[in-house]
A and B are shown apart, each in its own frame.
Chain A
Amino acid sequence: MSNLFPLSVEGALTRRRGRVLVGPVDLKLDPTGTTMVIGPNGAGKTSLLRMLHGIARLGAGRINWACEEHEAQRHQAFVFQQPVMMRRTVQDNLAYPLRLSGVKRAEARDRAAVWAGKVGLGAMLTRQATVLSGGERQKLAIARALIRDPELLFLDEPCSSLDGRATREIEEILHGVAEVGTRIIMSTHDMGQARRLGTEVAFLLHGKVHEFAAADTFFPAPATAQARAFLNGDIVE
């Protein structure tokens, strides 16, 4: 169980050049579970995750962690929609977060090799990360995020370039880390995935949290017409 939660978000919003990207958002997140952030393109999913993670500056409102903000920051990891590949080998990419927190080189590289194996990159340890395919990059980014055992894991459409099998494998890993208490907040366009992994759902529309509910009430019976339309694959106004 995570020490960062419960998390309460009050009127938080981020702006870019005067335009509100997302917010104001009010949320209460419990210590356990997997929150699925869904919504149409441009709804503000990425912006919401970045704001919660603290890499997009708060324009207003508050984000209250259960612990010191600095402490909270140290126990989070983020998988970006476009994974950032450091210009090093796969192994060194994976080892990097460990090296940042002072793990010795040899141990960091060993643990990197283990994680590479878990996400199916075991045969590519010495390859330059910059030449990986889109799917391989996503796997690398996920392993790199998990390698420091974060208490809170943000994933921004982590499986968008993965094939069916790789998606299942990643979902299994995520399931595993959720089971041991890692709090997950992720966005996805894959409603099957949202159902499989999510315990609660935040449906975003036009930069606002339009509907926030437990997964087993949201999916069978969304409360709003817009969410219903979105789940049906219709145009959402």
Chain B
Amino acid sequence: MSDLLEGALQAFWLVFGRDPVLIEISLRSLRVTLTALLVACVIALPLGAYLAVRRFRLRRYVIAVLNALMGLPPVVVGLIVYVFLSRSGPLGVLGLLFTPTAMIIAQVIIIVPLIASIAHQALRELWSDYHDLLISMNASQGQRIRALLWDGRRALLTAALAGFGRGIGEVGAIMVVGGNIDHLTRVLTTAIALETGKGEFALALALGFILIAIAIGVNLAIHMLSGTEREGRW
């Protein structure tokens, strides 16, 4: 119990003392996850829409695989990315291992299935609404997908936020491919793991509180930004 209290206090001092290390790793956390989120959305949202609109033979299997990949343990993703990026691996020449880019790659792989699945779920419902109308209007495949993405944007925002949540709190994969190197690849979650390992519970907790605060802050900010153009309940 005293650890919690001390952690809260220490978090307070870290934040209000504008601790430079804290700021550095917090910003890195945000940068890595937001970049991964952006890339993942560019892949996953159209994929979700495509799966909703298009009936092809392997569709069920793609969806089943996506759903299965949602539960993929991050550390396994990390290992696979590690193997690919390691010096002797197929992409070793790029020299990406133990860089933020490697962490971004791993996070993209982790959150794409999640975002695509949620997006597909939501857009499938919208498509069953729109199906007759858009076909009647002779909308092309691309136009159908664009209509779904635009009109389903609230649901897609939820999908993106779920992806952000999974990314920002993820530790297994980025630990493996990033290496938790001070001033280079250390982020909030890996720092927490490190401090916990050293027995610095209060500091670890403090970082944890800050992580939670950032996650909540980003969610609120995005909801408020998107709320300005809202009318009606969807």
A residues in contact (CB < 8 Å) with B:
53, 55, 73-74, 76-78, 80, 84, 86-88, 96-97, 100, 126-128, 130-131
Contacts and interface: CB of A to CB of B under 8 A. Distances in A.
A88 B126 CA distance: 13
A84 B151 CA distance: 13
A87 B139 contact: no
A100 B232 contact: no
Interface residues of B, number: 17
Given A84-B130, A87-B152, 17 more contacts: A77-B137, A80-B132, A80-B133, A80-B136, A84-B132, A84-B133, A86-B130, A86-B133, A86-B151, A87-B126, A87-B234, A96-B147, A97-B137, A100-B139, A128-B234, A130-B232, A130-B234
Given A87-B151, A88-B151, A100-B143, A128 B132 contact: no
A16 B151 CA distance: 30
Residue from A55, A84, A87, A97 having most chain B Cβ neighbours under 10 A: A87
23 contacts: A55-B135, A55-B136, A73-B138, A76-B136, A77-B136, A77-B137, A78-B136, A80-B132, A80-B133, A84-B129, A86-B133, A86-B147, A86-B151, A87-B151, A87-B152, A87-B232, A87-B234, A97-B137, A126-B231, A127-B231, A128-B234, A130-B232, A130-B234
B234 to A, nearest CB: 6
User: Which applies to chain B's interface (DSSP): helix, strand, loop or mixed?
Assistant: helix
A46 to B, nearest CB: 11
Interface of B: 126, 129-130, 132-133, 135-139, 143, 147, 151-152, 231-232, 234
A182 B220 CA distance: 52
A97 B130 CA distance: 13
Contacts of A100: 137-139, 143
A126 B232 CA distance: 11
A74 B140 CA distance: 12
Given A86-B147, A100-B143, A128 B135 contact: no
Given A74-B138, A87-B151, A128 B231 contact: yes
B148 to A, nearest CB: 10
A53 B138 CA distance: 11
B232 A131 contact: yes
Contacts of A78: 132, 136
Contacts of A77: 136-137
Contacts of B139: 100
B230 to A, nearest CB: 9
Nearest to B231: A128
A88 B139 CA distance: 17
A56 to B, nearest CB: 10
A80 B137 CA distance: 12
Contacts of A84: 129-130, 132-133
Contacts of B129: 84
Nearest to B154: A87
Given A86-B147, A88-B151, A100-B137, A55 B234 contact: no
Q: Which of B138, B139, B151 has the most CB of A within 10 A?
A: B138
Contacts of B147: 86, 96
* Interchain residue pairs A-B with the least CB separation, the first 8: A128-B232, A84-B133, A87-B151, A78-B136, A97-B137, A55-B135, A131-B232, A100-B139
A78 B143 CA distance: 18
Nearest to A129: B232
A88 B129 CA distance: 13
A131 B231 CA distance: 10
Nearest to B135: A55
A87 to B, nearest CB: 4
A227 B149 CA distance: 48
Contacts of A87: 126, 151-152, 232, 234
Nearest to A84: B133
Contacts of A96: 137, 147
A99 to B, nearest CB: 9
A106 B215 CA distance: 39
Given A128-B231, A131-B232, A55 B138 contact: no
Nearest to B133: A84
A100 B130 CA distance: 14
Contacts of A128: 231-232, 234
